[in-house]
Amino acid sequence: MTSSAVPGTPGTSGNSGTVLPAVFRPTLTRVVLLGVGGALVVVMTVMSFLLESFTAGDRATFIGTGLLGLGVLALLARPKVVATPEGVTVVNLTTVRRLAWAEIVRVNLRPGDSWVHLDLADGTALPAMGIQPGMARERAIAQARALNALVAEHGTGRSTT
């Protein structure tokens, strides 16, 4: 399946076929961002030592700039959606929101959307940046469908019989 179970925890599977807990994240985007960030730190560090006119303060500033760049790229690589038997945790750039299954009405990924939006029972929509079609469209569509199946299975719309 397109989701991955969190290592070391027992999984449960319902009618959707997705094992809970399941983590949905843009893996390729994450690899690229963290790889570029790591390369940035290495290049900035090497350059600071190759430029002989740099003082210790200049070198520290150069390396600090590389680390700052890595930090920004790591922040951009942070988003994920974690589905557990209790509900869904949406981790975006700077926020984390935990939702019970009953709070989620529908999972939306429309053409042109940068990421999934969760329609909530209170009438609002929550962006779930952990499912992004940017670099891996088919995977994001499969993840959105899997999350939607979990919402149908665990949410208020499921049958109690």
pLDDT at 14: 53
pLDDT of 80 higher than 60: yes
Examine residue 72 and state whether it is found in any structural domain, yes or no: yes
Mean pLDDT of 48-66: 95
Q: How far is CA 75 from CA 13, 69, 84, 85, in A?
A: 31, 10, 23, 27
The model's pLDDT over 114-159, given as tens digits with 9 standing for 90+, comes to 999 999 999 999 999 999 998 888 999 999 999 999 999 887 644 3
Write a three-state SS string for 30-62. HHHHHHHHHHHHHHHHHHHHHCCCCCHHHHHHH
DSSP 103: G
- How many independent structural domains does the chain possess? 2
Q: Is 161 inside any structural domain?
A: no
CA-to-CA distance for 29 and 80, rounded, in angstroms?
A: 12
CATH code (residue 122): 2.30.29
Per-chain mean pLDDT for the chain: 87
What pTM, to 2 d.p., does this model score?
0.78
Sign of CA dihedral 30, 33, 37, 38: positive
- Report the C-alpha gap between 151 and 104 in whole angstroms: 7
Q: Could you tell me the residue range of the domain that residue 50 belongs to?
A: 31-76
Is the distance from CB of 43 to CB of 66 less than 8 angstroms? yes
Please say whether the beta carbons of 135 and 115 come within 8 A.
no
- My answer on whether 87 and 105 are in the same domain is yes
Reported as a single tens digit per residue, the pLDDT across 58-72 is 999 999 999 999 999
Whether the CB-CB separation of 30 and 36 falls below 8 Å is answered with no
pLDDT score of 135: 83
Confidence of residue 16 (pLDDT cuts 50, 70, 90): low
Residues 42 and 103 in one domain: no
